[in-house]
């Protein structure tokens, strides 16, 4: 089931825009089951729908219940979120470390519980959960917007699921580590072509060319050029050669070293 | 400088609520410098202030500029965020992997650039950045709310800074890994007290007590009781003993093994 097994439970949310934003971000990260405990606002209001944008389906299929135990029915695992550090003595985990636990039993529904905008969850409500997560914040402003807290938790949950298992689109995702620079011989051919041209136009002199070329090499090596970028740079050189009238070299058969 | 060296740059934001939400979440995660490139809304409107809540200072100190190069003035590092995967051929990094690079040169201002709500950044704008980050999303709904995207990036940036360096409050943060269960001898004393009581009340029989007690041990060992919880459980047993009239054992001096 993966992410789809996790229901997002909002206890007495009061802001329809928050509920709409929550629906949107849930869908953004592959979650679909929204449960509202005694909501203090209309979850199908214009404001909620406006913020949900293309997640109307999540909003419309949201379940309203009267109490937190009803919201947790059928769940074997529940995590509550809290900003408390003073009067709550249970372990508080970082979302990155705590949330993946919800997905460990892949056939069982699990719940992630968020409290009211103004005062979170009561101690009694916290006690329905087995684990507790706190999003670390700056001491200068610790109170997160409800939809922001849900967003960060949904994001973290989604990151704990292997990308390729659910997301076709991630095939286009090119992390820096997998980014392939052009083969060195292709880059070397560019350096040769550049040096040759710079010698031709008198920018380089034969006895200092090597040391000056080192500086060009340093620049382009740092860039880690791609194939198409090398091709582009070489295209520029060819164009300069053409403009200089050197392109006749090619027709004369002596320009092979430049291509 | 740490997080404070990173400016959040919004290119032509159109929604005042988004700008206000961005200010709030910046302050939540320890960022203070907001720069707006040609904003399409009033950043000190009622809606913006309403969403910023206690981050009015971030909103009021925000800088408005006409062009993206102006917003990047003085920065040596800039990362642009994009949702594009089809027509953008530069490496796209995961926020967790890409963003810490902004903090690698601790004395230099750095920029994190976000595009318009509806169409992000143009290719020309992307080219002002040296690196590119994409927040992975579900293929069923890839478009993130602007403030949500900023929130996730600010959260990720903040997580890459060692907690103890800036955040006094994090001393109260108790991750599961540092959560100290009660010393085993204290828990053992509880088991002894429990067994003794269960024998007294005839729940256990001497010849099967050990195997039955194993099941109790399995339960409480799994819970990893804390000191105060062990004290509480023992308090319950003492109360039962008192109710049974066994508390006279204590006054008679034979109840020491129960304490």
Residue B256, token pair as written in the block: 């020491």
- Quick one: A165 and A215 in the same domain? no
Among candidate residues A29, A183, A41, the one with its CA nearest the CA of residue B149: A29
pLDDT confidence of residue B18: 96
B169: nearest CB among A54, A139, A145: A139
Chain B nearest-CA distance from A238, in A, is 24
Element (H, E) at A114: strand A110-114
What percentage of chain B exceeds 70 in pLDDT? 84
Flag whether residue B168 sits within 8 Å of chain A, measured between CB atoms: yes
pLDDT confidence of residue A100: 93
A152·B155 Cβ contact <8 A: yes
Residue of A nearest to B96 (CA): A159
Q: What is the dihedral of CA B118, B119, B125, B128, to 10 degrees?
A: 80
Give CA–CA dist B37/B42, Å, rounded. 12
What percentage of chain A exceeds 90 in pLDDT? 48
Among candidate residues A236, A116, A227, the one with its CA nearest the CA of residue A182: A227
Among candidate residues A18, A72, A24, the one with its CA nearest the CA of residue A41: A18
Supply the mean pLDDT for chain A: 84
Q: What is the pLDDT of residues B44-58, one digit of tens each?
A: 899 999 999 999 999
Within 10 A of A200 (CB to CB), how many other CB atoms are there? 15
DSSP letter string over A6-58? EEEEEES---HHHHHHHHHHHHHTT--EEEEES-SS-TTSHHHHHHHTT-HHH
pLDDT confidence of residue A1: 60
pLDDT confidence of residue B222: 66
Query: End of a domain among B106, B141, B172?
Result: B172
A91: nearest CB among B144, B147, B175: B175
Grade residue B88 by pLDDT with cuts at 50, 70 and 90: low
pLDDT confidence of residue A58: 97
- Quick one: B91 and B133 in the same domain? yes
Flag whether residue A218 sits within 8 Å of chain B, measured between CB atoms: no
Chain B nearest-CA distance from A156, in A, is 9
Range among A143-147, A249-253, B139-143 rated most confident: A143-147
The number of C-beta contacts closer than 8 angstroms across A and B is 147
The structure tokens 């650039």 sit at: B113
pLDDT confidence of residue B86: 65
Q: What is the pLDDT of residues A176-204, one digit of tens each?
A: 445 567 777 888 899 999 899 888 888 88
The structure tokens 């914040």 sit at: A137
Residue of B nearest to A32 (CA): B140
- The Cα-based distances of A198 to A204, A212, A215, A244, B250 in angstroms read 5, 10, 13, 12, 100
- Most B-contacting residue of A53, A90, A101, A137 (CB-CB within 10 A), to test interface: A137
Residue A241, token pair as written in the block: 């050669």
> Is B179 contained in some domain?
no
CATH number at residue B228: 1.10.8
B126 and B70 Cβ atoms separated by less than 8 Å: no
Quote the ipTM score. 0.72
B219 and B190 Cβ atoms separated by less than 8 Å: no
- Quick one: A129 and A202 in the same domain? no
A28·B136 Cβ contact <8 A: no
Query: End of a domain among B172, B198, B213?
Result: B172
Q: What is the pLDDT of residues B161-183, one digit of tens each?
A: 864 344 444 444 555 445 567 77
> Is B178 contained in some domain?
no
- Quick one: B118 and B197 in the same domain? no
> Is A178 contained in some domain?
no
Residue of A nearest to B169 (CA): A139
A138·B28 Cβ contact <8 A: yes
B145·A86 Cβ contact <8 A: no
The structure tokens 């329905």 sit at: A128
- Quick one: A161 and A211 in the same domain? no
CATH number at residue A60: 3.40.1280.10
> Is B216 contained in some domain?
yes
pLDDT confidence of residue A257: 38
- The Cα-based distances of B84 to A17, A30, A52, B77, B251 in angstroms read 27, 19, 21, 21, 78
- Quick one: B141 and B225 in the same domain? no
- The Cα-based distances of B199 to B206, B207, B212, B232 in angstroms read 7, 11, 11, 21
- Tell me: pLDDT of A175 over 60: no
Query: End of a domain among B172, B193, B215?
Result: B172
- Quick one: B245 and B122 in the same domain? no
Helix B209-223 and helix B184-200: axis angle, to 10°? 140
Residues of A in contact with B175 (CB under 8 A): 91-94, 97
> Is A200 contained in some domain?
yes
Q: Which residues form the domain of A19?
A: 2-172
- Quick one: B78 and B145 in the same domain? yes
Flag whether residue A52 sits within 8 Å of chain B, measured between CB atoms: no
- Quick one: A194 and A95 in the same domain? no
A136·B163 Cβ contact <8 A: yes
Residues of B in contact with A167 (CB under 8 A): 136, 138-139
Q: What is the pLDDT of residues A35-75, one digit of tens each?
A: 999 999 998 899 999 999 999 999 999 999 999 999 999 88
What end-to-end distance do the CA atoms of chain A give, in Å?
55
Supply the pTM of this predicted model: 0.73
Per-window interface: B 19-48 vs A, CB < 8 A: 21, 24-25, 27-30
pLDDT confidence of residue A166: 42
pLDDT confidence of residue B85: 66
Give the count of domains, chain B.
2
> Is A82 contained in some domain?
yes
> Is A205 contained in some domain?
yes
> Is B211 contained in some domain?
yes
- Quick one: A104 and A7 in the same domain? yes
Q: What is the dihedral of CA B10, B51, A150, B137, to 10 degrees?
A: -20
- Quick one: B42 and B144 in the same domain? yes
pLDDT confidence of residue B245: 77
- Quick one: B50 and B161 in the same domain? yes
Give CA–CA dist B165/B259, Å, rounded. 44
Residue of A nearest to B175 (CA): A93
Grade residue A223 by pLDDT with cuts at 50, 70 and 90: low
Grade residue A229 by pLDDT with cuts at 50, 70 and 90: confident
- Tell me: pLDDT of A253 over 50: no
A29: nearest CB among B138, B166, B174: B138
């Amino acid at each position: 089931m993966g992410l789809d097994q996790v229901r997002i439970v909002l206890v007495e949310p009061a802001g329809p825009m928050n509920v709409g934003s929550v629906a949107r971000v849930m869908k953004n990260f592959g979650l679909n089951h929204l449960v509202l405990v005694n909501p203090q606002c209309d979850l199908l209001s214009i404001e909620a729908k406006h913020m949900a944008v293309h997640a109307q389906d999540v909003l419309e299929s949201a379940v309203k219940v009267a109490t937190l135990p009803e919201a947790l029915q059928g769940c074997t695992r529940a995590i509550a979120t809290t900003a408390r550090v003073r009067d709550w003595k249970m372990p508080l985990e970082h979302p990155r470390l705590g949330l993946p636990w919800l997905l460990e039993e892949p056939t069982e529904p699990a719940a992630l519980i968020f409290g009211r905008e103004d005062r979170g969850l009561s101690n009694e409500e916290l006690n329905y959960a087995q684990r507790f997560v706190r999003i670390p914040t700056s001491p200068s402003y610790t109170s997160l917007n409800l939809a922001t807290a849900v967003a960060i938790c949904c994001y973290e949950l989604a990151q704990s699921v292997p990308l390729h298992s659910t997301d076709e689109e991630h095939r286009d995702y090119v992390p820096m580590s997998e980014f392939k620079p052009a083969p060195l011989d292709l880059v070397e051919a560019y350096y040769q072509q550049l040096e040759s041209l710079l010698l031709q136009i008198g920018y380089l002199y034969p006895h200092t060319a090597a040391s000056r070329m080192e500086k060009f090499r340093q620049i382009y090596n740092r860039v880690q050029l791609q194939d198409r970028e090398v091709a582009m740079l070489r295209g520029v050189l060819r164009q300069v050669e053409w403009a200089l009238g050197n392109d006749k070299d090619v027709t004369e058969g002596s320009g092979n070293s430049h291509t």
